[in-house]
Amino acid sequence: MLEFFMSYFDVLYPINLGPLTYKCPEELEAIAQPGMIVSAPLKNKLTKGVIINRNISPPDEKIKEFSKIHGDSPVLSKSLLKLLQWISEYYITPEGLVLKQTVPKEVFIKTKTGKAKKTLPHDKHIEFPDIPEREFSSIKASISSGKYNAFLLHAPSLLYEYSIALRLLDKTRNIIVLLPEIFQANMLYNAFKESFDERLCLLHGEISKGRRSEYIEGIISGKYDIVIGTRSALFAPLKNVSLIIVLNEHSSSYKLEEGIRYNIRDVAVMRGFIEKATVLLSSITPSIDSYYNSFSDKYKLIKPSSSLTRPKIRIIDMRFEKTVKPNFSKTVYEDSKHHIKKGEKLMFVINRRGYSTLLLCRECGNAEKCPECGIPLVLHKNESTIRCHYCGKAYDIPERCGRCKSYSLELLGSGTQKVQEDIEALFGVETLRFDSDQASKKTDIEKLLSNISCDSSKVIVGTKMMTKRIGLAERFSMAAVLNIDNSLNLPDFRASEKVYRELSSIIGLFDSDGKILIQTRMPQNSIFKYLKSDRYSSFVKEELSIRKELNYPPFSKLINIIFTGNLDLSDRIIKTVHKLDQDIEVLGPIVHRDKKGRNEFSILLKSADRRKLNTAARAVLDRFRDSKETDIRIDVDPA
């Protein structure tokens, strides 16, 4: 009879496991609440977990008791617990893994404060522009209302983005500010510290365990109510969040590539919705998905007028331009020589995927596309084929251009090292190379950034990795983008969007008297027209019309099923999907080799109905969950 009056709670641990039900000891019943940290027996030892809810229908079996409650109030709010449950359902992942990958482990295990790790170099003093309050009054009104609203800021510059964030922090409490890269988080923290010193804390992967533990305790106690950081900062145990700011919301760094592949931008919007908070997404080139949401009134678009004068942008048609080296037009050579003689700072950018080789027509600039997917085909020299990286279909290498029937087909592809050698040979100067070969470690990046700030480093050769890390205070006279065609022809329906974004980030590093030279054999591509006239919203509308015709996001949803092993389950997975729903479009499989030399298969599911995709992916997981020869992962909304 006494069992009837016992209290039962579900406890979640940060492991690959769902919640487990426990009895609450009588002496703890008065204080036990969801969100509190408890110690409970798990596999014959006491382990810390979090109470997620009261269980009014406990299982009919012997149930263990938890032994201790840590603290006298919940550490995780009900809103945050609800967010973890949403992530589990949306990204098709056990709740325990969600808890492990999101909530800082210092919530469960405290570490003594020690010396903080040295932060990455940050910008010299930054002058934030003064922004009239009328340009963000609607955001402030939303914060005051205590209701959920999502805003998309199409900012005229990166400094404008940061300045808006700075202005919104004043007189607002319980704020999370997210940035995609650690060096950006350090920079903004240092820039804001003077104004908000006592309220401000920093969370990212390079903060020492002790300092991180101190910050988490300070957030729980209410000492810190402004959290700046990278992805993990979104899950700070801040209560009653009023504002979430996602800066550079377009960044691919917000989409995880390991573990649970959630997109922090989308999760931030959901946390704002659950918390009844205001969410501000901002970028100088907002993602097309976000722009589409503003067209459909899910987000409120803010597009301030700008008086900024942009640097001169020149598009060089490599079909007719004379070259002095395979990667250098005569125009780039002459302009570079002029600026080098003046002792000015130059940047040469080679796409980070420069090793990718594609077949391009010299006459009309055409690159062959897959007839099924509309995605550029990639040359595989060892197979003597051109292959689609979406559906996996391969075709013979053509002798003639599919558009103009010319025989003038050309292989493109080069890397930073070759370009560096060419520059040093042409101009007789030392150069600094910034790519993943040169910057594989944090200390390498620090050294490179320090050298770039040094006046002795005048000529920099690098990839997008470089342009993402150069600070706001570093200014160059000229940039030459040498092989943008490789990026435009990647097998990715988002290729044009990513190229526009990459070029815009380079333009943002230059003052009005700077110069950007872009070499291309595809000057007719509309991206260059919109880029030169600074009409990003027009580019977005054109890109949306193309995606609608091909039924790509945001007009459809995608789930990628990835499985690794020596057993090819492709046919069985596809049959499982089609048995559930014939309307789901299946692309693939694509086969790669992972780092361990195993076959990695990728099958892309496409449908306008997200629920159908979710159901199909769960069915695949259920069917092959116990397969010992194969590891299956699900990537919802692949980037």
Which residue's structure tokens are 């190379």?
A: 433
Number of other CB atoms surrounding residue 403 within 10 Å: 14
Domains of the chain in sequence order: 2-107 (3.40.1440.60), 133-302 (3.40.50.300), 312-356+413-546 (3.40.50.300), 557-636 (3.30.70.600)
For residue 228, what pLDDT band results from cuts at 50, 70 and 90? Answer: very high
- The chain-wide mean pLDDT, for the chain, equals 88
Q: Which residues face 200 on adjacent strands?
A: 226
Contact 471/187 with Cβ under 8 angstroms? yes
| Among the listed residues 412, 416, 417, the one whose alpha carbon sits nearest the alpha carbon of residue 488 | 412
Instruction: With 0.85 as the threshold, say if the pTM is over it.
Output: yes
pLDDT at 4 over 60: no
Segment among 56-65, 230-239, 412-421 with least mean pLDDT: 412-421
pLDDT at 23: 94
Question: At 144, is the pLDDT very low, low, confident or very high (cuts 50, 70, 90)?
Answer: very high
Task: Please tell me the predicted confidence (pLDDT) of residue 460.
Answer: 87
Report the relative pairing of strands 599-607 and 585-593 from DSSP bridges. antiparallel
Distance CA 586, CA 577 (A): 8
Which of 347, 320, 323 has its CA nearest to residue 333? Answer: 323
Asked, as a colleague might, if the bond just before 638 is cis with ω within 30 of 0, I would say: no
At 341-364, the pLDDT tens digits run: 998 989 999 875 333 456 788 888
The 10s digit of each residue's pLDDT in 410-441 is 776 556 777 888 899 999 988 888 877 776 67
Please tell me the predicted confidence (pLDDT) of residue 422.
Answer: 87
pLDDT at 566 over 80: no
pLDDT tens figures, 145-197: 999 999 999 999 999 999 999 999 988 999 999 999 998 999 999 999 888 98
DSSP state, residue 263? B
Among the residue ranges 140-144, 174-178, 394-398, 411-415, the one predicted with the least confidence is 411-415
Structure tokens at 143: 């914060």
Give 384-445 as a DSSP string. Answer: TEEE-TTT--EEEPPSS-TTT--S-EEEE---HHHHHHHHHHHH----EEESTTT-SSHHHH
